[in-house]
Structure 1
C-alpha cells in the first residue's frame, strides 16, 4: 500500500521510521511532508521516499498514494479534512482535533485514529478477561497513575534530527491557530490554567480515556478535577463509569523522573487486572498484565509485541479488507467531549470563566 507521511518529528523518527522500514511487506512510503525541509529530507532518506514536501496541499495535489498517516503535532483536523477530501484513507495520531466543530466538518471517508495502547496485546487480553468476568458491570473501579518525564529525557536515546529551518513567523501563525481552536473549545476568556487542563487531557490523558472506552465505555460525568505543582504539574480526575463503578486518574509531570511509567488497575468483583506500560518510544519494550484472582493467585503476562506495529497492520487491514478500526471519528469525538467535561468541571470548581463548546457541560 502506497502511503504518505505528514509530520517528520520525534514520534515519526523514533517509532514510525523503524516500523515502516521493517514492514515493507505492507507499506511503500511514496512521499513525506513537514514544515521543515531538513526533517522531510532526513525521513525521506531513511525510508527511500523521493518526494519531499513542506506543504500538505501540494503533496495531496500531486497524489501517487492511497493513504496518509498524519503524525504532526497539535490538532490534526484540517489536515485530515484535506486528506479525506482528496480520497485518501487516513491514519491519524491522537488527538484527532481540539474541537467538536473540526470533527463535524470532516467529509465521509476511511479514517482510523491512532491510540496504540488499544492495540497492545496485553490490553486486548485484559479486555477478553474482563468480558469473561461480566464486562463493565463487573468493574468496581479503574485506577490510573501516569508518571510522565520530559519528552527530551524519553527520547534521549533516539539521536533525532532537529529542525532549525522553519520560518518563525510560520510557527507563530500555527501557535495562534492552535490557540484559536482552544478558545473555540473553551471560550476566548478561558485562563491559562484551564487551557492547560484541556490540552493535557487531549494530548496525554486521552490515552487513558481511550482505554476506558475499551474497558468500560466513556464516562458521562466528571465529578472532580484538581491540579497542583508547577506547570504542567499534576492533574487528578475522577467520576462514575457509565455502567458500574468509578474511575480515578492521577497524571504527574515529573521532569526528572527516570522513565515513563503508566499503571492501569481494573478492580472487579473477583480481583484485579493490572497493566503496566513502559515508555511508548522504546520499541518492543514489554507491557505487563498481572491477573489477581479472588483466591489471591497471580498470573503475569509480559507482552513484547509492539503495539504501534499491530496498529499499522490494523490500518492496512482496514484499508484493504474493511476490518473496522478500534477508534474512528466517533470514538475520537467521545474523547474530545470527555476532555471538555473535564475542563468544565475544573472551571466550575475554581469559578473560572468558560464558554465555547465546553459551556454545554457546565
Structure 2
C-alpha cells in the first residue's frame, strides 16, 4: 500500500455501479459540501448527516462522509451558524470534510438498500416492486491474440461484462486473423516496426450496462497485451435489467403476522414496530421498501403481497390498505441504516483492490429521532 484514494476515483467507482441517472427525478444526490479534488484518508459511512455525526467524524479524523440521506435535500436560504444545519456546514468546511450523498440511486441499484433489506429478511425469488426504468445496454467487441483471450475475458467479466439474468461470463468468441503494421515510435508486443504482421486472434463479444462501459474498457486496456488494443462499442436498442424501488419475494416458510413482526425487529435490530392487520393471520409473500413507502402500498397490494415492510406509514393510508387485506409492518425509516454495513463492505473491498491506505469506518451515532417508551 502506497497512497490514499482520490475522492473523484472513489465516487467514479460508486457512480459506475449506482449512477445518479437511475435516481428518482428531482432527487438530491452527489456532492453536498466540499470538494472531490483531493485524496482522502478516511471515509465514514452514515445514514444521516447530523451535527453529532459531524462531531464523530471530526473526532476520528474523517475527511469524507458517504451518506444515504442528503444533507441539503431542501434549499438553504441562508447559512446561519447558530442553527444546527449552519453548524454542520461550518464544521465540515473548517475541517475539510467532504460530504457526498447517494439517495434513491442507492435504493434502486441491484445490491443496494432494498436488496440489502430483502436479503436481511431472507426473501426468495425477489423482483422489483415498483419499476422505474430499464438499464441501457452496450455491446463491447474486442480483438485479442489467442494467447491472451482467457485473461481478457476474465478481466471483462470481473468488471461487469457478460451478465445476463443469473448468468455471468457470457461472451461469444470467433477466431480470425488480425493484421497490423507497427510504425516508427511504437513498441509492439508482437511483430517488428514497419513490417506487416498477421496474428491469430479471437474476437470477443459481450454485453454490458452502459454505466459500466468505462470500467470494462479500463479492464480491457489493463489485461490486453497490445500497446493499442482494438475494440468497438455499440449502443443497443434492447433493454437490460429492470430497475426500481422496493423488492417483493417469498419467505422461506409461512408464518403468522405476529411472528413475522418479531422476525423483522430482529433482522433490522429495532426495539419495536407498528403492525397493521390480524396478528394471527399468515404471511408468505412479502414486499419491502426502505424509507417512506406510502406511495407504494397499493402497488404491494396489486402485486399480491400479504404484507409490506416499510416506514412512515400514514394513519389513513393504513386504513385504506388494511380494508383491502394488506398487512403492514412498519419498523421505521431508520432501518435503512442497513446500508452502513453494506457500503462499508463495498468500499472496503474496492479500496483493498486498489492497494491504497484509505480506511473506511462506520458511523456509530444513532440517528433515529424516535424512541419506544
TM over 0.5: no
TM category (shorter chain) comes to under 0.3
Larger strand share, 1 or 2: 2
TM-score by length of 2: 0.26
**Structure of higher CA gyration radius:** 2
